[in-house]
Amino acid sequence: MFAEIVVDIAHSAVDRRFTYRIPEGLDVSVGHHVLVPFGQGDRLKEGFVVAIKDDSDYPSIKDICRIVEPYPVLLPEQIALAEWMQDAYHCLFVDALRLMIPAQLRGMRVKEKRVRTVRLAENLDLDAALASLNRAQAQKRVLELVAKINAEASVPDINAFYPNSTAAINALISRGFLIEQSETVFRRPQKMRIHTPVHTLTAAQTRAAQAIDEAMAQANGSVLLLHGVTGSGKTEVYLKAIADCLESGGQAIVLVPEISLTPQTVGRFTDRFGDRIAVLHSRLSAGERFDEWRRIRLGLADIVIGARSAIFAPTERLKLVIVDEEHESSYQSETQPRYLAIEIAAKRVRECGGTLVLGSATPSLMSYSRALSGKYRLVELPERVEGRPLPTVEVVNMRDELLMGNNSIFSDRLVERLSECIGTGQQAMLFINRRGYATFVSCRSCGYVLKCDNCDISMTYHKSESRTRCHYCGAVKPLPKECPNCKKPFIKQFGIGTEQVEEAVLKLFPTVRTLRMDTDTMREKGSYEKLLSAFHRGEAQVLIGTQMIAKGHDFPNVTLVGIVSADTTLNLPDYRAPERTFQLLTQVAGRAGRDNLPGRVVLQTYEPQHPIIRFAKEQDYAGFFHYEIMERKKLLYPPFSLFLRIVFADHNEQAAEQGCLSYAKLLEAELMNVLGSEGKNDLLLLVAAQAPIARISGCSRYQIVLKLLRTKRLRDAVRAITAFHDLHRTVCEEAVLEVNPQEMF
């Protein structure tokens, strides 16, 4: 017998299947992690068995040396998935395989943890044995203890009862009174139970849960979009669907954004399902990660909760995948392989006949259009549970504030509401959008935003160059001294930080306790959880933060949300800026009034007339969707087109520039060829220019941005580009191709 093996070396030169002989007596099957002699000098390398075959026409074949883990570490469906990813994401086979197993498994850096255990010998006459130990009190009491436990007892446990008992245990073993065994233990991350009552589902929740049940019964790999307003009880629907899935012997994977993977979130699931849950996220220790993965692999856990990469969990009986907050960009991997977790989830349920549920209060434009076109089944939860109202949103025009002589961070209205909220002992959240910090240029008087003439995208201010730049086409403009629209001198780069907001709060309310949460205050491990629970316990009245406070949290006592600056992401140089802004504003607003107290939101903006702000005020998702999809259509942005980007980096400026330009020229010719005369207009844009960030760690950067119309020819065009890239990636030190890049910076 022979095995096809992928060697665990991430290099395109060896990224293929090598044939090895399976030596007599070695029980090798597909998915085994093995050691094989490889390359010159036959050094031992790790590899994965991806296929078994009867014969090989290869003349000189080497033997597999040995198996590493006793069980196959990869499931056949995972190997098939990796193969598919190789083509879909243009990555190395081995890079895709590596996503399916814990990193520490490779290189054998973690081991199973075993403890010594003992049990009573069979047919032992206990009384006689105890009597014989009258002069060995230490042994006697150990034997009594083990008899009392009446099961396997671990040596550490016995030592915890009676310190320094190891010698006594050994003596009992050699007398034949105790039998030694060893047992694998799983290192388990702490999971607290957050007690949550099992609610009787509302009519809407019941309908949603039924729709999921029907889909699971059909077992045809279908996708449901659960669109439910904030506080509509989506989690309760997930819990019901998971219970039903488990009932029928299935396994479920629940993906949540890394940032929402808090003890509170996991606790709600643990309270319902206890030990059947395994969690996978980046804050686990290597041992915990390995053991949680093994509990899944060995079928001991039925529910996997995790961030993006948990979609690769080794579930053999997968029936249900839930992706919460499906619109979140964190489901897109930013390193090779650049996979989209939702795409992987859809692929997995298609293969196993499972069901995928995408949930969000603000679905991505892509998902919602698929739901409208019937590709996904749409299920809506249009109201909050228990007839709780959505929060009321007051929009404050910050330009009016300026005209009235208020040039502080807070509008009069926000100060008023804040003082009411603090006065009644309730809690408030103040949200600042740091991502757009000081990058776009706008007029404080008329709201004009400096935009690129070609792209209808706001220009980004580059401090080091003292000028502005379009991150899409590379065009530059000087920073205007006065506003091109109203001619007033109030035009400048825009942005506020969390520290400034905290100072302003303390100046207004010197005795109030505040907490601040942003990437600067969250460096330390565990600080995020600490801060959230402190706020939960009411140790502060005002929580000030960035994106981190926007998502998923359920703070019953929060009745006021202040959105200090709504516009910062609205004007980011990205076609997704309006969509992301609407999502963010709706999510933040959704934090208010989730319990019995009604919620209020004060939304401060310089562009109150902007449609996105108006839809956010009304929390009108459908209105937003129809408006924004028309905008995308007008400008032929995705989903009507697809962006691709190739970034060139080289220590030598000229090499990067020349590499980029010559690549662009050849690529254009190649594309014209592939698209043919019928499709030549599919290429909407191909610009080669200096990258927005012109230098990173000593390398000069250039980029090509391509925009292709979504037609039946798109797939072939993308294939042609990736094939072209393979041949030409060596034009300079580094050339990286991204399909649908998440950022254009």
Computed from CA positions of residues 568, 234, 269, 554, in that sequence, does the dihedral angle turn out positive or negative? positive
Which residue stretch of 79-87, 481-489, 594-602, 707-715 sits at the interface with Zn ion (rule: CB under 5 A)?
Answer: 481-489
d(CA 109, CA 285): 12
| Amino acid symbol at 508 | L
Total length of the chain? 745
Residue 446 contacts Zn ion per CB under 5 A: yes
Give Cβ neighbours of residue 556 (< 8 Å, ≥ 6 apart): 594, 595, 596, 597
Residue 448 touches which member of Zn ion, ligand ADP, none, C-beta under 5-8 Å by kind: Zn ion
Q: How many residues bind ligand ADP (CB under 6 A)?
A: 18
Residue 500 contacts Zn ion per CB under 5 A: no
Secondary structure (H, E, C), 307-343: CHHHHHCCCCCEEEEEEECCCCHHHECCCCCCCEHHH
Residue 443 contacts Zn ion per CB under 5 A: yes
Residue 234 touches which member of ligand ADP, Zn ion, none, C-beta under 5-8 Å by kind: ligand ADP
| Chain centre distance of CA 253 | 13
User: What's the closest the beta carbon of residue 245 comes to ligand ADP, in angstroms?
Assistant: 18
d(CA 174, CA 136): 14
Alpha helix ranges (H) inside 29-136: 76-88, 93-98, 126-131
Residue 230 touches which member of Zn ion, ligand ADP, none, C-beta under 5-8 Å by kind: ligand ADP
- Nearer to Zn ion among residue 90 and residue 610 (C-beta): 610
User: What's the closest the beta carbon of residue 240 comes to ligand ADP, in angstroms?
Assistant: 10
d(CA 473, CA 338): 23
Burial of 316 (0-12, 13-18, 19+ CB in 10 A): middle
Residue 20 touches which member of ligand ADP, Zn ion, none, C-beta under 5-8 Å by kind: none
Residue 362 contacts ligand ADP per CB under 6 A: no
- Nearer to ligand ADP among residue 398 and residue 549 (C-beta): 549
User: What's the closest the beta carbon of residue 242 comes to ligand ADP, in angstroms?
Assistant: 13
- Nearer to ligand ADP among residue 390 and residue 735 (C-beta): 390
CB 321 within 8 A of CB 212: no
Which residue stretch of 68-76, 198-206, 244-252, 516-524 sits at the interface with ligand ADP (rule: CB under 6 A)?
Answer: 198-206
Residue 541 touches which member of ligand ADP, Zn ion, none, C-beta under 5-8 Å by kind: none
Residue with tokens 């899944």: 296
Which residue stretch of 53-61, 192-200, 204-212, 439-447 sits at the interface with Zn ion (rule: CB under 5 A)?
Answer: 439-447
Residue 446 touches which member of ligand ADP, Zn ion, none, C-beta under 5-8 Å by kind: Zn ion
- Nearer to ligand ADP among residue 31 and residue 233 (C-beta): 233
Q: How far is CA 312 from CA 255, 278, 393, 606, 608, in A?
A: 11, 13, 40, 44, 44
d(CA 20, CA 183): 34
Interface pick for Zn ion out of 26, 479, 486, 709 (rule CB under 5 A): 486
Tell me 552's DSSP state: S
Nearest to 432 by CA among 504, 508, 361: 504
Residue 483 touches which member of ligand ADP, Zn ion, none, C-beta under 5-8 Å by kind: Zn ion
- Nearer to ligand ADP among residue 94 and residue 616 (C-beta): 616
d(CA 368, CA 229): 14
Residue 232 contacts ligand ADP per CB under 6 A: yes
Computed from CA positions of residues 721, 727, 728, 733, in that sequence, does the dihedral angle turn out positive or negative? positive
Residue 554 contacts ligand ADP per CB under 6 A: yes
Residue 486 touches which member of ligand ADP, Zn ion, none, C-beta under 5-8 Å by kind: Zn ion
Interface pick for Zn ion out of 89, 331, 368, 448 (rule CB under 5 A): 448
d(CA 721, CA 642): 13
User: What's the closest the beta carbon of residue 553 comes to ligand ADP, in angstroms?
Assistant: 9
Which residue stretch of 193-201, 209-217, 363-371, 579-587 sits at the interface with ligand ADP (rule: CB under 6 A)?
Answer: 193-201
First to last CA, the chain: 52
d(CA 670, CA 676): 10
Tell me 375's DSSP state: S
Torsion of CA 95, 98, 104, 108, to 10 degrees: -90
Residue 355 touches which member of Zn ion, ligand ADP, none, C-beta under 5-8 Å by kind: none
Contacts to ligand ADP from residues 367-406, by CB under 6 A:
385-386
Nearest to 300 by CA among 274, 261, 265, 320: 274
Residue 483 contacts Zn ion per CB under 5 A: yes
Residue 199 contacts ligand ADP per CB under 6 A: yes
Note if the bond before 257 is cis, omega within 30 degrees. no
Residue 641 contacts ligand ADP per CB under 6 A: no
Residue 325 contacts ligand ADP per CB under 6 A: no
d(CA 660, CA 72): 44
Residue 587 contacts ligand ADP per CB under 6 A: no
User: What's the closest the beta carbon of residue 246 comes to ligand ADP, in angstroms?
Assistant: 19
Buried b (16+ CB within 10 A) or exposed e, 429-444: bbbbbbebbebbbbbb
Residue 231 contacts ligand ADP per CB under 6 A: yes
Residue 196 contacts ligand ADP per CB under 6 A: yes
Binding characters for ligand ADP, 141-180, by CB under 6 A (x = yes): ----------------------------------------
d(CA 581, CA 400): 22
Residue 402 contacts Zn ion per CB under 5 A: no
Residue with tokens 């392989």: 337
Taking CB positions, which residue lies at the least distance from Zn ion?
A: 483
Residue 199 touches which member of ligand ADP, Zn ion, none, C-beta under 5-8 Å by kind: ligand ADP
Residue 474 touches which member of ligand ADP, Zn ion, none, C-beta under 5-8 Å by kind: none
Residues of this chain that bind ligand ADP (CB under 6 A) = 196, 199-202, 205, 228, 230-236, 385-386, 554, 594
